[in-house]
């Protein structure tokens, strides 16, 4: 029987299930020039994946803020995703978009309000906190799990465009097919579990609460500003 974790609970030490460059223990990422980058609030609980990685290694913690672009009438179904930054990054799920009669331009138009929400959250959560530069660094992109991978794909693209010398994708759980697709965008992929069938990320946690804006701001305040 699978053990369900809460987002606050220690994950067991399980070897990675996928790696483009061979098996590498998850504990091996204590590099000097490393940055931990959860793509949204899911990686931010005090002992959640992103925050725990940053706390354990002393690496700066940065948020890559990504928003899903929902389908017309079905906001939970992603037709694409968008992230902020010096350059805006987009991904379009063309098969899904086509089923709703949406072109790439239509998806981007729908994403304009998501960009506005990203900027609201950055101001609320991070305030004047300086951004972490990815150039020349190992960037470990962490989340509490992925399903379709739409938002994670954009986060990985943003890290690459930011000049990361190496990108490590680190996840507790993901469907095998999504993991394979995302691994193309990373130099190494570490995942604790890729169950078949896969139903939802939350099904693999004993508790999966939504964090408030105040929760996220408080957690981020516990990490020092990035090194210059």
Q: Which fold has domain 15-64+132-221?
A: Rossmann fold (3.40.50)
- Per-residue pLDDT of 90-119, as tens digits, reads 888 899 999 999 999 999 999 988 999 998
pTM above 0.85, yes or no: no
pLDDT at 203: 84
Strands (E), 138-184: 138-142, 166-173
- Per-residue pLDDT of 13-45, as tens digits, reads 333 333 333 333 233 333 445 555 555 544 444
Give the residue from 186, 183, 184, 185 showing the smallest Cα distance to 194.
183
Q: Where are the domains of the chain?
A: 15-64+132-221, 67-126
Report the C-alpha dihedral over residues 175, 42, 160, 183, rounded to 10 degrees: -10
- Per-residue pLDDT of 41-92, as tens digits, reads 444 444 467 777 777 777 788 888 889 899 999 888 889 999 876 678 888 8
């Amino acid at each position: 029987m699978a053990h369900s974790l809460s987002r606050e609970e220690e994950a067991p030490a399980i070897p990675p299930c996928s790696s483009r460059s061979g098996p590498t223990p998850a504990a091996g990422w204590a590099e000097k020039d490393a940055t931990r980058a959860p793509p949204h609030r899911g990686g931010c609980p005090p002992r959640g994946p992103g925050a725990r990685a940053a706390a354990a290694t002393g690496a700066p913690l940065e948020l890559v803020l990504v928003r899903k672009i929902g389908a017309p009438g079905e906001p939970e179904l992603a037709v694409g995703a968008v992230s902020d930054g010096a350059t805006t990054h987009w991904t379009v799920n063309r098969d899904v978009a086509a089923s709703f009669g949406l072109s790439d331009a239509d998806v981007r138009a729908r994403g304009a309000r998501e960009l506005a929400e990203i900027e609201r959250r950055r101001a609320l959560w991070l305030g004047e906190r300086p951004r972490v530069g990815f150039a020349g660094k190992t960037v470990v992109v962490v989340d509490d799990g992925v399903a379709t991978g739409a938002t994670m794909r954009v986060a990985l693209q943003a890290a690459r465009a930011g000049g990361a010398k190496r990108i490590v994708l680190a996840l507790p759980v993901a469907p095998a097919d999504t993991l394979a697709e995302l691994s193309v965008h990373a130099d190494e992929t570490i995942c604790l579990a890729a169950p078949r069938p896969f139903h939802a990320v939350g099904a693999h946690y004993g508790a999966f609460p939504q964090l408030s804006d105040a929760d996220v701001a408080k957690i981020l305040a516990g990490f020092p500003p990035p090194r210059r």
